[in-house]
Amino acid sequence: MISKRAKNLSPSETLKITAKAKQLAREGASVISLSAGEPDFKTPAHICNAAIDAITGGFHGYTMNTGMPELREAISEKLIRDNNITVLPDQIVVSNGAKQSIGFTILATINPGDEVLIPAPYWVSYPQMVKLADGKPVTVNTSFANNYKLTAIQLEEALTDKTKAIILCSPSNPTGACYTRSELKELAGVLKDYPDVLIISDEIYEYIVFDGEHTSILNAAPELADRTVIINGFSKGFAMTGWRLGYMAGPKPIADAVAKIQSQETSAPSTISQKAGIAAYTGTMKPIQDMVKAFKQRRDFIVKELKSIKGVECFVPSGAFYVFPDIHVFLNKTTPDGDKINSSTDLSLYLLEKHGVATVPGDAFGEPTGIRLSYAASLDDLKEASKRLKLGLDSLK
């Protein structure tokens, strides 16, 4: 009954460990979750009010397939205002979350057998989405020493005549690393010689940057505009994960193809959420600035704590709300119960089951020597979690 396509797909690893943590908590265990991929803040009031107004004002019908013109205009203006990038409203398609925008962009551009380069560690869904489109995900390992950022040399080595696209993510999930303008310029310098390669630039964490400012590949290399799709959304920057609102902005033929797929799959995103999205991009950014300030304080705290644990190596992430320490020294160690830690998955399970801290193993992101900790948790929780992590890791022999 089940298709090969569905059988070949792996379920989301991050959702799996979150489910396990929730189950343990339901059974009465004290669990601190550092596995969440969403801000622990509420959506700002002015955005909620716009949605309430949409409901009471009778905005209950379908919108245009590509999203409301007012929202696409607000996105286009935001891209100029915040990013200095010109993308016209008819080059933008709004979907039910950036996840869907990425999935539809891949479906719209990838043919069976096409290779898609994905620097590892990567966001869990990229390779699976490429597989769904019958493409071939090609992961490119990066190094801790370079904060897990792809170098021009690594890119050059990975490109083949079958490469159809590359997916970049900055600020990164899972590492929090951000590419600088000069790093992006170097990558663009390599891509210049591969004019048929599409660049999918996932910038969903753009507002959560602590050091310097967010840079898009189109800032470093505007000449790539005719083959770059920017992915963005409202989930992370505006604490709107449940509203399901994201978009792709790119060359018109790709936007048209994405719109065609969307017209047959979901019609359009929720009208209520789109009204909220307009308020997000045209309203005050103060609540967001406050949220980012809190994230920065937590980042500084958790990084300091992690660095104080013997064997843990960690760089300071410049964005998002994740930290991805190197834990390779704990692999092959043994727990006080005599269990061998063979992998980052074993380590995450041990930390969850024996010490009540939920993390996500690097295995899920294609980097077996790390684990991802989300600091979208209160400072009190982070303090307690740090104690537990230290105890748990120090107990391994």
If you search the block for the tokens 């022999």, which residue do you land on?
A: 397
**Chain residue at closest Cβ approach to ligand PLP:** 97
- Rounded CA-CA distance 23/33 in Å is 12
Span 164-183, contacts to ligand PLP by CB under 6 A: 169, 173
Cα angle value 93/219/319 (rounded, 5°): 85
Residue among 36, 37, 220, 305 that touches ligand PLP (CB under 6 A): 37
Q: Which of residues 100-129 bind ligand PLP (CB under 6 A)?
A: 123
We find the least distance from the C-beta atom of residue 334 to ligand PLP, in angstroms, to be 34
By CB under 6 A, residue 392 contacts ligand PLP = no
Residues in region 204-263 near ligand PLP by CB under 6 A: 204, 233, 235, 241, 246
Q: In whole angstroms, what is the distance from residue 37 CA to residue 345 CA?
A: 18
Q: What is the dihedral of CA 124, 125, 128, 134, to 10 degrees?
A: -140
State which residue, 309 or 360, has the beta carbon closest to ligand PLP. 360
Nearer to ligand PLP, 99 or 275 (CB): 99
CB 12 → ligand PLP: shortest distance, Å?
A: 9
According to CB under 6 A, which one of 183, 202, 326, 363 is a site residue for ligand PLP?
A: 202
Q: CB-based burial of residue 123 (10 Å sphere; 0-12 exposed, 13-18 middle, 19+ buried)?
A: buried
Whether 277 contacts 234, CB under 8 Å: yes
DSSP state of 12: P
Tell which positions 256-295 bind ligand PLP, by CB under 6 A.
none
Report the relative pairing of strands 228-233 and 246-249 from DSSP bridges: antiparallel
Contact 251, 227 (CB under 8 A): yes
Which 71-100 positions form the footprint of ligand PLP (CB under 6 A)? 97-99
Amino acid sitting at position 259: A
Q: Which two tokens stand for residue 137?
A: 């995900």
Nearer to ligand PLP, 154 or 235 (CB): 235
Q: Which of residues 320-359 bind ligand PLP (CB under 6 A)?
A: none
Least distance (Å) between residue 326 CB and ligand PLP? 21
CB of 23 to ligand PLP, least distance (A): 21
Give me the count of residues in the chain: 397
C-alpha torsion sign, points 111, 188, 371, 323: negative
Nearest distance from C-beta of residue 329 to ligand PLP, angstroms: 28
By CB under 6 A, the count of residues binding ligand PLP is 13
| Closest CB 330 distance from ligand PLP, rounded Å | 25
* Distance between CA atoms of residues 90 and 111, nearest Å: 24
For residue 176, how far is the Cα from the chain centroid?
Answer: 9
Binding site for ligand PLP (CB under 6 A): 37, 97-99, 123, 169, 173, 202, 204, 233, 235, 241, 246
